[in-house]
A and B are shown apart, each in its own frame.
Chain A
Amino acid sequence: MYDFIKDPSIYNFVRGPLVWIAFLVFIGGSIYKIREMVLLAKKEKVVYPYMDLKLSLRSLLHWLIPFNSRNWRLRPVVTTVTFLFHIGLVILPVFLLAHNVLIYESWGISWWTLSEGLSDIMAMIVIGCCIFFALRRIFAPEVRFVTFADDYLILAIAFLPFITGFLAYHQWLLPHKIMVILHMIFGSLMLITIPFTRLGHMLYFFLTRAYMGSDQGYRHSKDW
């Protein structure tokens, strides 16, 4: 097993085709899923007539800014953790120096990056948040009651790329190369699973929020 992972062809595979496949599946799958849902919504008589861009953006904005909706204010701890987690989740992979170097080597383009120290802190925050969510699933009664095995699974899918990336950066636990391979495998896994599991809440968030915002806004009410 150990020798198998050390085989350079594995590294070449995960660095090349696997990442390509992952991105294709992620982008293609996301477009497919959103398209399906939008078409499905079109069939319903009551969704489209209510949709309103201004009201949707209003609702989205209120919920995307921390502590700007009443439920965010009521639960400061969960709110802080949720926002830190999701900001880290989205910003860190895109602006990480190491990722940029890889992209530069391949295509010759690069963009602004985070400093290494900041990336390290952000990675730790994301990992910490994951642990918080797991503990919340175990210890908060109302969350435990509605937790299924796949909730832990999707949490693990989000957790693994970050923990492996963090360990690879510090070269702890496993040899650097093996950790990087694991990191790439888990990263690809996350990208592939986003459109097809409930990680897809990343995509549907904007649709469901827009619908509820428009619906409530149409009734001269608000939903934050």
Chain B
Amino acid sequence: MAEVSVKEGVETRDWIELKRKPVADIGFDETVKNLTTEKIEKVVNAVLNIGKNAARFMAPLETCIHCALCSTACHWYLSHDKDPTYAPVAKVKMTLWELIKRKGKVSPEFMKQVARIVFCECNLCRRCSMYCPFGLDIAYQLGMVRRICFILGLVPQNILDQTHSLSATLNQLWLTQGDWIDTMQWQEEEVRAEIKNVRIPIDKEGADVMWCPLGTEPKVATYHIARTAKIMNVAGIDWTVSAQDGWDSANMGMFIRDMETMQRVVRGIYDNAMRLKIKRVVLTE
């Protein structure tokens, strides 16, 4: 890969390389081997071209005065003894501005660092936007970079797997419909030891409330289901859960900016709510 870069006239080490503890993640280490500068260039320019038509993307680029007043808003910056490379504006600088400056002609190693910055050193919590005198949506910009990384496949393995699961089953942890219904019935039985005649109504049409748990709840944290069943029953709520796929309120597609999966997950929930003629939806996440 290095040969290709040199031929293209791209310096592989002319960007600031961060000194971070190396973390092994197949999602980064393996996919980066399949990348070339041409591939990256193509993806970056495709995403940035969409960005050029977006005011939310362009306005911050032309407004940011590089005052670094956002830095103290970031918990990463404060947690690392005010290391300037963790400041929000620095993260934008090292990722987006660099990609724009080079028009996407960057080496795979650079992209790997970009992916680490946007996925593993930023939570898109929007606190920096609250502390920016201009109210620039830094989270949106880093989200665009996440989108570039996602299309390139440079995503931490765990979250990518969960997104794949969402796109295949509309839940986060590869649960089948049978597992899901089974878990609900099992929990109903468990809670009956404490509270008389507890019901977890599945697919009840016309209920007031549809509850959408997180995929982890039926898989590893069933006590959440038990507690919710207790609360709902004691309060006498007319509630239900959906039997069909689209009961999971986790949306990993949103985190890695896989818009397509993200839309399908949201749509799945609304579809179920419409199908069951639900009045309100309670989403755990």
Contact = CB atoms under 8 A, between A and B. Distances in A.
A209 B132 CA distance: 9
Interface of B: 53-56, 58-60, 62-69, 71-73, 77, 82, 84-85, 87, 89-90, 93, 129-137
A220 to B, nearest CB: 14
Nearest to A221: B130
Contacts of B87: 142, 145-146
Contacts of B64: 198, 201
Contacts of B60: 208
Given A40-B58, A41-B55, A44-B55, A145 B130 contact: no
Contacts of B62: 198, 200-201, 204
A142 B135 contact: no
A129 to B, nearest CB: 13
30 contacts: A38-B55, A41-B55, A41-B59, A43-B54, A46-B56, A47-B55, A47-B56, A70-B130, A78-B69, A141-B84, A142-B71, A142-B82, A145-B68, A145-B93, A146-B87, A146-B89, A151-B66, A198-B62, A198-B63, A200-B63, A201-B134, A204-B59, A204-B63, A204-B134, A205-B133, A205-B134, A208-B60, A208-B63, A212-B135, A216-B130
A185 to B, nearest CB: 24
Contacts of B130: 70-71, 216, 223-224
Contacts of A146: 66, 68, 84, 87, 89-90, 93
A71 B69 contact: yes
A37 B77 contact: no
A75 interface: yes
B145 to A, nearest CB: 16
A109 interface: no
Contacts of A43: 53-55
Contacts of B89: 142, 146
Interface in A188-224: 198, 200-201, 204-205, 207-209, 211-213, 215-216, 223-224
Nearest to A210: B135
A143 to B, nearest CB: 4
A148 B58 CA distance: 19
Contacts of B137: 211-212, 215
B84 A145 contact: yes
A141 B56 CA distance: 28
Given A59-B135, A216-B130, A75 B69 contact: yes
A19 B136 CA distance: 33
A147 interface: yes
Contacts of A198: 62-65
Contacts of B82: 141-142
A1 interface: no
Contacts of A59: 135
Contacts of B65: 151, 154, 198, 201
B53 to A, nearest CB: 6
